[in-house]
Structure 1
Amino acid sequence: MKVLLADDHDLVRDAIGALLRMDEPDLELTAVKDLPEALAAARGVSDFDAVILDLRMPGMNGLVGVQKMLQAVGDSPIMIMSGNASKADVQAALKIGVKGFVPKTLTGKSLINALRLVACGETYVPAAYLGSAPVGPSDANHVALTDRETEVLGQLRQGNSNKEIALALDIAETTVKLHLRSISDKLNARNRTDIVVRAIEVGLA
């Protein structure tokens, strides 16, 4: 996987880089510290599988910088990252073409899952930042799923295998697995059966 990571904090770049390399031994990571360096890297390499962009780093100026990156990376999907982005910031970024958002409080496991989903052409947004996605009755977990996750969950409840779900939804089987991991994280479920049980408990299935 070929990834461009742009963040102005050395510690963040090093930590994310180490995390990704543990999960992706063949990772080709380009790590830069600000928007000008990110734009230069994007113009030099046109086939990044994903771009991780800090929304608040120097030179960004909010969505202005995001728009510049969208133009520079072509078809490479962008996932923005921030420690203090508002729901409005995230929704606005999605509207102009960003494919995902990860808060800096996200766990390493969830970050990797988010990156893989975005690299597969899907969209990743944590439940707390979702707009009109289906939300179950109020409960301690405040669980919410994206539209695609809801479709995958519906197929899973019917007892379909990953291959059958992929065929039904016209997506790759690996993408189905990524969605199931995301659903499992949100529901704190241990396996496929537990996903369905937990979803029923919180009113999502």
Structure 2
Amino acid sequence: MKILIADDHDMVRETIALYLQQEHGENVVQASSLDHALTSIQNSPPFALVLLDYEMPGMNGLAGLERTLAVNGGNPVALISGTANKSVAEKALGMGAAGFLPKTMAAKSMINAVKFMVMGEIYAPLDFMTAEEEENAAASQLSLREKQVLKGIAEGKSNKEIARDIDLQEVTVKLHVKTLCRKLQAKNRTQAAMIARDRHMI
């Protein structure tokens, strides 16, 4: 089985290729740009699977996916990315991509996903595809005041400074901080700010 991995990050590309070769004996071809990948496809029989890095040179967003789908003989093409969000993943799948693989995936999970897509199945990790919905749900649970307090915490302000900024009593701000920690399941105000940043709530 012949697989093409196209990624401009040498270490990422070589690590995935090495794992596939060592664990499953796959024939892996590597490319560092979209043009390089397309040349490889055009100069050989269709690959069983092509993995494209969403942000490598030549991709131009999802246009690169569209071009690759057109030349790979109907065989599966999937995206890998360390930055693309759920919206990009959904659009890619809608265009006919065989899957979407975040680079944060464990190596073993990625290999299983590759096998899944080669068999003609569609793959997208459930936790990634639902994370944004969970983030939005968490944000919707916060009142306007709580969001204002959370923003102040994230900016490194004290309760006294936040109270002055949004015209509240300091004791009221303290209560809001306590409520925020409970709602975000944070141990303290610093962790609450980190969680909020990670979930794009502020």
TM-score normalised over the length of structure 1: 0.61
Give the 5 Å matches for 1:172-187: none
Listed as ranges, the gaps of 5+ residues in structure 1 are: 139-205
Deviation, 1:10, is 1.0
Give the 5 Å matches for 1:104-115: 104-115=103-114
CA separation in 1, counterparts of 2:60 and 2:127? 24
CA separation in 1, counterparts of 2:7 and 2:94? 22
CA separation in 1, counterparts of 2:127 and 2:66? 24
Q: Which amino acid aligns with 2:24?
A: E
How many residue pairs are counted as aligned between the two chains? Answer: 132
Deviation, 1:17, is 1.1
Q: Residue 78 of structure 2 aligns to a residue in which SS?
A: strand
Q: Which amino acid aligns with 2:75?
A: S
Give the 5 Å matches for 1:20-169: 20-25=20-25, 27-130=26-129
Q: Residue 12 of structure 2 aligns to a residue in which SS?
A: helix
CA separation in 2, counterparts of 1:23 and 1:75? 26
Deviation, 1:128, is 3.0
Q: Deviations over 1:131-151 (max 9, x none)?
A: 7xxx9xx9xxxxxxxxxxxxx
Alpha-carbon RMSD: 1.7
Asked if 1:4 corresponds to 2:9, the answer is: no
Q: Deviations over 1:162-184 (max 9, x none)?
A: xxxxxxxxxxxxxxxxxxxxxxx
CA separation in 1, counterparts of 2:9 and 2:110? 17
CA separation in 1, counterparts of 2:88 and 2:74? 22
CA separation in 2, counterparts of 1:80 and 1:42? 16
Deviation, 1:47, is 2.6
Q: Which amino acid aligns with 2:91?
A: A
Q: Which amino acid aligns with 1:43?
A: Q
Deviation, 1:130, is 3.4
The structure with more helix, counted as a fraction of residues: 2
TM-score normalised over the length of structure 2: 0.62
Q: Which amino acid aligns with 1:65?
A: G
Listed as ranges, the gaps of 5+ residues in structure 2 are: 138-202
CA separation in 2, counterparts of 1:82 and 1:8? 11
Q: Residue 16 of structure 1 aligns to a residue in which SS?
A: helix
